Amino acid sequence: MSAIPLISRLPPLPAVRDLLNLYRLQAVKQLSQNFLLDPKLTSKLVSAAGKITNGYVCEVGPGAGSLTRIILSRNVRKLIVVEKDKRFEPPLEMLAEASGDRMSIVWGDVLSHNLENAFPEESKCDWSDPPPNIHIIGNLPFNIATPLIIRWLKDISERSNAWVHGRVPMTLTFQKEVAERMVAKIGTRERCRLSIMAQHLCFVDHKFTIPGRAFVPKPNVDVGVVHFTPHITPKIKAPFSLVEKVARNTFSFRQKYCRRGLETLFPTSMREEQTQILLKLADVDGTLRPFELSVEEFNRLCQAYSTILEKFPSLERYNSRSKDGFDDTLLY
């Protein structure tokens, strides 16, 4: 078994590739397992998180620990890893032991795991302070990457979960196309609901792209590494669910004038009138395409929609796509 060169503060360890062979750890498709084994790339990914020395880190989906050992080698104070697949127990236990009590393992689903207690009280910062030395890092499984970031953006908006500790930054991988959507600028082909949701809550930076061939097994897509830093003040001043609803409806007819998607916020009987009122209140040109709207215009649309909801509170639950969406008559 070949040994990898000594990593600072960790004893010499077998190479991850050898551990995968030793324990016959073949990738499981259902868990979107694509391992990143090239030390240059794992190092580059961890460096994208910025300075983590002396900090607290949560790694999502460590697998056999290729990123984990880089994180530990940066002399972090504490590392917590969340992994669903118990087959990785031997290599992760080996790392935990080598870490000198700095690493703990949570076996479970990151989608339902609350990170509020993962970091100590004394590392907490105020929201308006610079981000704390707490980091979330992960080579995410593709199948949960989008639901997970949506969930965490909601948590950021509510300052819950890991974000009770302040503006905790995240460095995460996504399918390249998803990464491009998250950073997409106004007027571009990639601009979508996810661009609005991510950019209104965070400064989002697509750091670099890793070619699919760098992973084992090789996925059919390339992978984007994205860094998120929560804004002190969200750019849209409305609850997460309301912003999400307005963005989702607006983009439901991507190539049409934005008023077409906005109309779907209202039942047919009030659609025309209320859409006109909405656009007027928001001072938005209804003939712009959804991808031509700025985050500030979405802010005004959300404010205007909130004003209309004050008059028609039951509209909040109206969903034009749901089979049991409101009967128009219920609303008056």
- Closest CB to ligand SAM among residues 92, 236: 92
Q: For residue 204, what are the β-bridge partners?
A: 228
> Which 116-145 residues touch ligand SAM, going by CB under 6 A?
139, 141, 144
Distance (Å, whole) CA 132 – CA 53: 12
CB of 288 to ligand SAM, least distance (A): 38
Residue from 111, 129, 147, 285 touching ligand SAM (CB under 6 A): that is: 111
29-37, 176-184, 247-255, 290-298 -> range binding ligand SAM (CB under 6 A): 29-37
For residue 181 the two structure tokens come to 């959507």
- Closest CB to ligand SAM among residues 79, 196: 79
Distance (Å, whole) CA 45 – CA 39: 10
What's the chain's Rg over C-alpha atoms? 22
Q: Indicate if the alpha-carbon torsion angle 176, 177, 183, 188 is positive or negative.
A: positive
Q: Which residues are annotated as a binding site for S-adenosyl-L-methionine?
A: 34, 36, 61, 83, 109, 139
Beta strands 35-36 and 134-138, pairing class:
unpaired
Residue 161 sits in the site that holds ligand SAM (CB under 6 A): no
Token look-up 């302070």 returns 129
Residue 35 sits in the site that holds ligand SAM (CB under 6 A): yes
Residue 34 sits in the site that holds ligand SAM (CB under 6 A): yes
Distance (Å, whole) CA 144 – CA 32: 9
- Closest CB to ligand SAM among residues 61, 267: 61
Residue 36 sits in the site that holds ligand SAM (CB under 6 A): yes
> Which 72-91 residues touch ligand SAM, going by CB under 6 A?
82-85
Residue 110 sits in the site that holds ligand SAM (CB under 6 A): yes
For residue 174 the two structure tokens come to 């996504």
- Closest CB to ligand SAM among residues 141, 290: 141
Q: For residue 14, what are the β-bridge partners?
A: 3
Q: How far is CA 177 from the centre of its chain?
A: 14
Q: How many residues bind ligand SAM (CB under 6 A)?
A: 21
CA distances from residue 257 to 41, 248, 261, 289 in whole angstroms, order as listed: 43, 14, 8, 5
- Of 175, 171, 170, nearest to 210 by C-alpha is 175
Q: How far is CA 185 from the centre of its chain?
A: 18
34-42, 94-102, 195-203, 240-248 -> range binding ligand SAM (CB under 6 A): 34-42
Judge contact between 79 and 90, C-beta under 8 A. Answer: no
- Any idea of the CA torsion for 292, 295, 298, 304, to the nearest 10 degrees? -130
CB of 107 to ligand SAM, least distance (A): 9
- Closest CB to ligand SAM among residues 45, 236: 45
Residue 232 sits in the site that holds ligand SAM (CB under 6 A): no
Residue 61 sits in the site that holds ligand SAM (CB under 6 A): yes
Residue 4 sits in the site that holds ligand SAM (CB under 6 A): no
The residue ranges that bind ligand SAM (CB under 6 A) are 31-36, 61-63, 66-67, 82-85, 109-111, 139, 141, 144
